Amino acid sequence: MPSDRRHLLHSAALRGALWITLIALLATGVALTVQYMQTTRLLEARTHALVDDEAASLLARYRADGVRGIAMAIRRQQDVPRVNEFFYLLATSNGEPLVGNLLEWPVDVEQPGYHSFTTKVASTGEGWRERRVEARAIVLPEGFRLLVGNLSDERQALRDQYLSSLVWSLLATGALGLALGFWYSRRGLAFVDAASATGESFLQGRLEERLPVSERGDEYDRLALTMNRAFEEVERLVGSLRAATEGLAHDLKTPLTRVRARLEVADLEQADAGRMHDVMADSRQDLETILQLIEDVLGLARVEATAVAHLAPVRLDVIVAEALELYDPVAAERDMELVSRIEPAQLPGSRSLLAQMVTNLIDNAIKYTPAGGGVTVALESIEGAIRLVIADNGPGIPEAQRAQALQRFTRLDPSRSQPGSGLGLSIVAAAARVHRASLKLDDNAPGLRVEILFSRL
């Protein structure tokens, strides 16, 4: 139990809940304060408007009948019950009250204008009471002072209500924010727990493990899809490594066994110089095959190690044209027709990888096309993409074996009579993955049609 409590206190869920609660408390406090200030200003403006109207009425009587007229008006007004209770005070220049419902001239009121203060007011039928008032002080031409005001108790009541509402609202918001924030944070951390468990299982060798993906399509689902793609890529690389190890061992074992067998037979037969020359020539050819195989494996490793961040704008049409120029004499020697349709095309890529991809495809097409046949190379720009197509009229690849043909060290039955390491199409597939391109093998009826679609984005 103490361990669970410590885990909770240090959990990201609690930190998330506290942040959510803090934001909610700030929002609530700001909202209530703004509302209080706006209401206070509205009440103040309303009070000033009422006082200004009342003062204007008294000043009109003063201009008509002088001090006597304004005194009579004050006595008449304070005896009439009204919805908005006003108070008045007419005083001498030294503040001595003459008429009105204020007990005395407020000490703090010395200058003309609006003032807010607490004083004793004679209310209708209630005698003298301590009230909060908002008053306008006016100095009359003869030196008399006039004070006209309205009760502002409601503003004090509003302030008390604001403070009470603020306290209770913050308490309710804090409790609700903590509860909902902790629940929502736990929901997000449930994904983290699932990702952690899946990653641990993946590290233990269960490469088929994947994160669950809901149908909400939110940020967690997008992250799960990205992580699942990473798991799939790791699984593919591990499987590819296993297949490569097995294939490499097999392809190295065969020529090395032949070399050893030749040397043992020559030793047993006490071969003469001419025979040893033949043995050395055949062994040298097998060793060349081994070196080429190692070079192809290293080339494939370099392709798969190329990062997308290292790609730069490349003219693919120039690369294809250079490859066609390189293989044109080879095609002519085999009495083949090498047809090309090339449009200008530029994309972000690695020039060396793209060159290796194009040369491998053209080399395979020429290698497996019979004499007198034809190879077509087409490069065209379509909406939002660039398409490279290389087609031949050789034996082709059966549909059931096309996915296998892209794996490392795969040499299908029709190609057994041809030299090679079985890595040509693997390098093409790896280069396509680096460039985020799609690779498709189709039937050319007869022959093989390879289509690579590059996105311009």
- Give 182-208 pLDDT, tens digit per residue: 676 666 667 777 888 888 888 887 888
pLDDT, one tens digit per residue, over 405-416 is 776 555 554 444
Residue 125 has pLDDT above 60, yes or no: no
More confident residue, 139 or 266: 139
Tokens 């919805």 sit at which residue?
A: 83
- Name, of 53-57, 80-84, 317-321, 329-333, the range with top average pLDDT: 317-321
Q: Sketch the domain layout of the chain as residue ranges.
A: 1-202, 237-304, 309-455
Domain 309-455 has CATH 3.30.2350.10: no
Predicted confidence at residue 83, as pLDDT, reads 46
pLDDT of residue 416: 40
pLDDT greater than 90 at residue 377: yes
The letter for the amino acid at 377 is V
Query: C-alpha angle with apex 326: 321 to 331, nearest 5 degrees?
Result: 105
- How close are the terminal C-alpha atoms of the chain, in Å? 54
Q: What CATH number belongs to 237-304?
A: 1.10.287
pTM: 0.47
Asked if residues 126 and 150 have their Cβ atoms less than 8 Å apart, the reply is: no
Amino acid at 442: D
